[in-house]
Chains A and B, each alone.
Chain A
Amino acid sequence: MAEASPAHGAPAAVPELSEVTRRDVVGRLLKLGAVSLAAALASGASLAPLLHVTAAQGQAKPQRRYGMVIDTRRCVGCDACVAACKAENKTPPGVSYTVVLEQGLGERPDDRPLFMTKPCFHCEHPPCVPVCPVGATFKRSQDGIVVVDYDRCIGCRYCIVACPYQARYSDFAENYPAVAEHTPWASVPSPEYRQFRVRQEGRSPEGNVRKCTFCLHLQDENGEYDKAAGRWPACAKTCTGKAIHFGDLNDPNSEVSQLLKERQAIRLKEELGTEPNVYYLL
């Protein structure tokens, strides 16, 4: 991580790009919404409770340890992951489970910037979890994904303060025009946690803290994803440069494990002892 070198010379084009992306997102969401609704109704007949409330600490090792290996050499900074995540999870304005950071690498002779998409790192020792006064956020014992129980969260935002990676967002009950103006889009549910919540004034997740879930609603009943079938985290699925690799870090044959064996990977802010499950290849 290029913490040491300041991110200077951020091109003026970046804000415009993001603006376009955001507007674009709304349009895309409108189209995708109907598709998602149909898919949700088709697949969501069994609303299996995905939130197994178990304290992860002191328990048997998780069977799976989902994580990502993000190849910064392949990332072109297109923000497609950001748009895909928004389309998938239907996050409101101000909430984006992933963002693409641009780091100017200062003294490098080729002056090539470094882009890195930054989802939640689903740390082995997540600092956000112990601080929650009501235990509303926890690390799932079965796959290590850090989740938020929207119905339990009181909205104190202590977890946002405690996260060293700014991976958590507060839902301020703001809405994109399509939702605010009660267009048909407003009744499309978010598949998050397979709870299929429709945005309703004053109801969760409004007033809650929200975060990346590795799109766990796409897991099957055994907790497995299927890349070929498209049940894969939206950001990784859409990545134009194939920079986002996703998989089970406990499976030595998974793509992510192989990449970690072959390449030199780093994790951010190792000094805090959080042990992120998202690695970057430089």
Chain B
Amino acid sequence: MSARTLKLGFWTLGIVLILVGSWAWIDRWINGDRHTNYGSIVPWGLWVAAYIYFIGLSAGSFLVSSLVYVFNIKRFESVGRLALYSAVVTLILALLSISADLGHPFRAWHVLVYPNFRSPMAWMIWLYSAYFILLLLELWFVLRHDLVVGAGRPGWRARIYRILVFGSRDASPETLASDRQVVRVLATIGVPLAVMFHGGVGSLFGVVSSRPAWHGGLFPILFLVSALVSGGALLVLVSAIFQDGLRRNRETVQALATLVLGLLLFDLLLQVSETLVGFYGNEPDRVENLRLVYGGPYWWVFWVWQLGVGTVVPIALLALPRTRRNPAIAAAACGLIAIGFLAVRLNIVIPGLADEQLQGLTAAWHSARFSTDYVPSPMEFTFTAGLVGIGLVLFGIGEWFLPRPEETAAEEVASVSA
């Protein structure tokens, strides 16, 4: 299959998913939450799981980019801007997902004018708003030089560059150096910010003492580690596909995949710890939540999707001597990890809620909204598929539009020799 066919397939898939998802969008804005399947016992469903998944990808990608822009590790330099772009795209998907989930999305601004400083959710929102702004600024400063240089070229891409430079025309080495300084400062502020906001997502779950599956100090840490694994894994996949990446980023892909493997094993350790301690403690609600994950109606989400596809197969591919030196296989393995983490998120949100808080509740009141059984509705599924489509298209646009450093270098050489 040629690269051209692959590209065509990628765009087609993205656009088809968006078209499918737009039906769910329209339904959401006309009918509100009516055609969703969550209720008052399982109040958070697929959309919240998708939200913590995407926002984890964003935080993870961003933290990997800090290896380049804060810690100055040359080995990862070629994927730094891609990591930032990936963080922007996945953050947009996360915000779209959670905005549909809110009963009154157009009141989201209330969190700014009616702040509740005791709410972990409020802190999370403030922090990721700041993070979003910082992310856009940092990406702009990373790209500015290349955009200015590229703006002189003919074609559509250059036209967009001319808009995006916001009047900046200076391509001198001095300005480039000062850009790098700014990036360094922004990235350094960004690290604690990303740790706090994604730790905040974990705290949002961890502080709830009425939900034994979540309650505990390990949860924010688990969220951060999971973010690093999933965000790093997505970055490996994207940097292998993106702009002829497998050839250009061969070494980086390999090195990053090894890092992801290490992080995945650490994540696994934390999960095993949570599980064993939970089962051994034998606290009924806690055990019931674990039972729902491992032996509930969606046992396969754990055993097949999370453990098989997302953990065992990629660990084997990344560790076995026959396959581990092949960057294409490493990229595929990391793709599996990235897909597997959606199951991790589902297994946190849904089994953690799908338990009666008091015995006999669901028998006391018969309503589809008052049930421990939750399967996402077709509208919820298509909405989330639409988000994936938006993600594909945004990555496709980035592929086409993000400046390639070697183009800039070639142009600069040309202008010097002229």
Contacts and interface: CB of A to CB of B under 8 A. Distances in A.
A105 B32 CA distance: 42
Contact of B119 (A1, A15, A131): A131
Given A154-B104, A154-B107, A172 B209 contact: no
Contacts of B269: none
A93 B367 contact: yes
Contacts of B125: 133
Given A99-B361, A127-B209, A133-B121, A154 B108 contact: yes
Contact of B359 (A7, A156, A172): A7
Nearest to B284: A3
Task: Say whether chain B's binding surface is mostly helix, strand, loop, or mixed.
Answer: loop
Contacts of B32: 172-173, 202, 206-207
B31 interface: yes
Contacts of B360: 7, 10, 101-103
Interface string B17-51: 00000000000000111101011110110000000
Contact of A94 (B119, B209, B358, B367): B367
A160 interface: yes
Contact of B366 (A1, A18, A155): A18
A6 B358 CA distance: 11
Contacts of A156: 101-103, 121
A204 interface: yes
Given A18-B366, A172-B32, A135 B210 contact: no
B322 interface: no
B115 interface: yes
Contacts of A82: 365
Interface string A237-257: 000000000000000000000
A158 B121 CA distance: 8
Nearest to B368: A94
Contacts of B33: 155, 170, 172-173, 207
Contact of A1 (B36, B101, B358): B358
B3 interface: no
Nearest to B204: A158
Interface string B66-109: 00000000000000000000000000000000000111110110
B358 A154 contact: no
A236 B359 CA distance: 23
B353 interface: yes
Q: Which of A101, A161, A163, A272 has the largest number of chain B CB atoms within 10 A? A: A161
Contacts of B120: 131
A14 to B, nearest CB: 6
A103 B110 contact: no
B111 interface: yes
B103 A208 contact: yes
A136 interface: yes
Nearest to B205: A161
Contacts of B209: 127, 164, 272
A194 to B, nearest CB: 22
B39 A166 contact: no
Contacts of A136: 110, 114
Contacts of B168: none
Contacts of B323: none
Nearest to A53: B114
Given A102-B364, A162-B210, A172-B34, A152 B114 contact: yes
A161 B353 contact: yes
Given A161-B353, A164-B210, A173 B31 contact: yes
A153 interface: yes
B178 interface: no
Given A7-B359, A132-B116, 15 more contacts: A3-B359, A94-B39, A101-B364, A127-B208, A131-B119, A131-B121, A133-B116, A134-B115, A134-B122, A152-B107, A154-B103, A164-B209, A166-B41, A207-B102, A272-B209
> Top 4 closest A-B pairs, CB basis?
A155-B103, A207-B103, A94-B369, A164-B210
6 contacts: A94-B367, A130-B116, A133-B122, A135-B116, A164-B357, A173-B33
